Structure 1
Amino acid sequence: MEVSTVDSDSRPTIMITNDDGIDAPGLRALVRVLVSTQLYNVLVCAPDSEKSAVSQSITWRHPISVKRVAIEGTTSYAVSGTPADCTSLGVSKALFPSIPDLVLSGINMGSNCGYHVVYSGTVAGAREAFFKGIPSASLSYEWIGGRSNIEDYTLAAEACLPIISAMLVGVKAQTFPRNCFLNIDFPTDIANHRGYKVTKQGRCISKMGWIRVTSDSQGGKMLSTMTMDPTSSVECNMSSESSELFARQVISAAVADEDTDFKYLQEGYITVTPLAALSRAEIECEIFLEAWLPGVVARPSPSAL
């Protein structure tokens, strides 16, 4: 039975961004997999260089530059700004003629779980689309040096296809929720993952410190997991003899808390975690403040000193 070619004008449009840069293997693998399906119009609007751990920062005081990049099967641009800039520009109709149906950010080198989502430029790329009312998902692969390889990104992208397809079906039918976006993490052994699991954001975070370094010190690239990639070096660009250099240092790795994203990722699941713009405080805090605030404003507060 012959399968007819899908009319490109009728296909849903997916825009891809990331924080590792437009040349990153994770983004390129995601693009190749999506293009190979011939089911989607694929747009790319991504940083022209690495912008890891910039969170939701935006460029405000000066223009950003945009350059057309040749990526087969796509319309692609490299942008001098942050991931949030890229998403904002890409969905604005100032760069592309239409608004995408779905925004994907990734695939990131390093997982994004627990409190680390606050630092993540990858998550910010998806969150910015959420701010604009566009369905989105951030995609991250738990890269571990010595165990992971470039082909794992392709496996992760392929594993995400059912979720992408289902999201778009839900968007078209107006049944997919608009009050959240998805944060999807792929385990290191993606080829033998244990399935898909909806999880909640945990509280795990790596304990960080600082170490004094010299201009020729060797360190490592900080991954989104706040672990170090020893295959790269710390960039030390300050040349003044009167300046001192300090680099971040992982004191202890994140520890999984119960029934949350990081725990199930460590167990080998592909975790799907709904996120909103900001995390609400724990209900215990709300209860405490409801009882505490009336008394605070009803009488002058004694000095804390």
Structure 2
Amino acid sequence: MKKSKPTILVVNDDGITAPGIKALMDAMAEIGRVVVVAPDSPQSGMGHAITIGKPLRLDQVDIYEGMEMYRCSGTPVDCVKLAVNKIFKGKKPDLCVSGINHGLNNSINILYSGTMSAAVEGAIESIPSIGFSLDDYTLQADFSHCIKYVKELAQQVLDNGLPTATLLNVNFPAGAHIKGIKICRQANAKWAEEFDERMDPHKRPYYWLTGVFQMNDNGEETDVWALEHHYVSVVPVQFDMTAHHAIPVLNSWEFKV
């Protein structure tokens, strides 16, 4: 009996016309049936935001021939929620892939990333999920060297599944000289942020966020190290944010109430 092709939900945060999502949907079309649900405009840095104060629009569009595509007025997480509830109507896809993001989502960036939050929402819905990002922020980014790794990782997840409540955060270094794949941990790093204050024509201040990425981790098993040494970094991520190691510490406190 011939096995049916898997159904793959493709989402992103750069918007439905971004080159990165085109590269991802084309790669996934070689593996299974693709359904694309993406924001109608860029949603970078939205994290796990959802729309609750205004109505959402979901329109089927014909941007690329032969692709089932829907444009959503909301956030990347809204896209996943609407896909599960209105397009798939509760019959969930076999895989959710997000990206390919224009720019890295390694280390602490995962907390702010709309790309990764869409993948997290897929995992919350018990859909095996992967977020893909490339170290190139430009619209002219070349994703061609990423594709064989995208397909391989997607197929591995389809074949083997993922541990419960886990998804993958995959980042690609810039350039075609990739040495291979490394399974990593998230590096201990943060943004040292500053706000550039300026004045508008009405003499009211406004601010532009700037900052420098501070690396506080010398480990060779981190995603930052892997990318700096031209490896694809693969970090297993969980959405259970409980600090389990802290529970015994808190249980040792003597509460006086």
Partner Cα distance (1:72, 1:15) in 2:
17
- Aligned AA for 1:178? T
Out of 187, 198, 202, the residue aligned to residue 213 of structure 1 is 198
Residue matched to 1:21:
15
Identity of aligned residues (%): 30
Residue 147 (structure 2) aligned to one of 157, 180, 205:
157
Q: Distance in 2 between matches of 1:254 and 1:193?
A: 24
Query: Who is 2:119 aligned against?
Result: 126
Deviations 1:165-192 (A, max 9, x none): 1111124xxxx32220111011112x21
2:208 matched to which residue of 1? 247
What is the alpha-carbon distance in structure 1 between the residues aligned to residue 216 and residue 231 of structure 2?
14
TM-score, normalised with respect to structure 2? 0.90
What's the offset of the Cα at 1:108?
Answer: 0.4
Q: Deviations over 1:80-115 (max 9, x none)?
A: 0000000111122x1245421100010001111112
Please name the residue that 1:225 is paired with: none
Answer whether contact 1:48 1:78 (CA < 8 A) is retained: yes
Which of residues 46, 49, 61 in structure 2 aligns to 1:54? Answer: 46
| C-alpha distance after superposition, 1:202-246 (max 9, x if no partner) | 22122111011345xxxxxxxxxxxxxxxxxxxxxxx7x253211
How big is the alpha-carbon RMSD for the aligned residues of Structure 1 and Structure 2?
2.2
Change in CA separation of 1:165 and 1:80 when aligned onto 2, cut-off 3 Å:
same
Q: How does 1:192-231 map to 2 (within 5 A)?
A: 192-214=177-199
Query: Residue 188 of structure 2 contacts residue 215 of structure 2 at CA under 8 Å; is this kept in 1?
Result: no
Write the deviation string for residues 5-31 of structure 1: whole angstroms up to 9, x where unpaired. Answer: xx8x92101111011111111111111
* Partner residue of 1:11 out of 2, 5, 14: 5
SS in 1 for 2:34: strand
Gaps (5+ residues) in structure 2? none
* CA distance in 1 between partners of 2:187 and 2:240 (Å): 14
Is the CA contact (8 Å cut-off) linking 2:102 and 2:141 kept in structure 1?
no
Give the match's secondary structure for 1:23.
Answer: coil
Alignment partners' CA distance in 2, 1:57 and 1:182: 20
Question: By how many angstroms is 1:72 displaced?
Answer: 2.6
CA distance in 2, matches of 1:157, 1:31: 10
- Taking the aligned partners of 2:75 and 2:47, their CA distance within structure 1 comes to 9
Report if the CA contact (8 A) 2:172-2:227 is conserved: yes
Q: Are 1:26 and 1:109, in contact at CA under 8 Å, matched by a contact in 2? A: yes
The Cα shift of 1:33 comes to 2.4
What amino acid does structure 2 have at the position aligned with 1:55?
G
Decide whether aligned partners of structure 1 residues 107 and 144 sit closer, same or farther in structure 2, where only a CA change above 3 A counts: closer
Name the count of aligned residue pairs.
Answer: 252
1:41 aligns with 2:65: no
Runs (5+) with no aligned partner, structure 1: 1-6, 216-238, 301-305
CA distance in 2, matches of 1:42, 1:254: 38
Relative to the length of structure 1, the TM-score reads 0.76
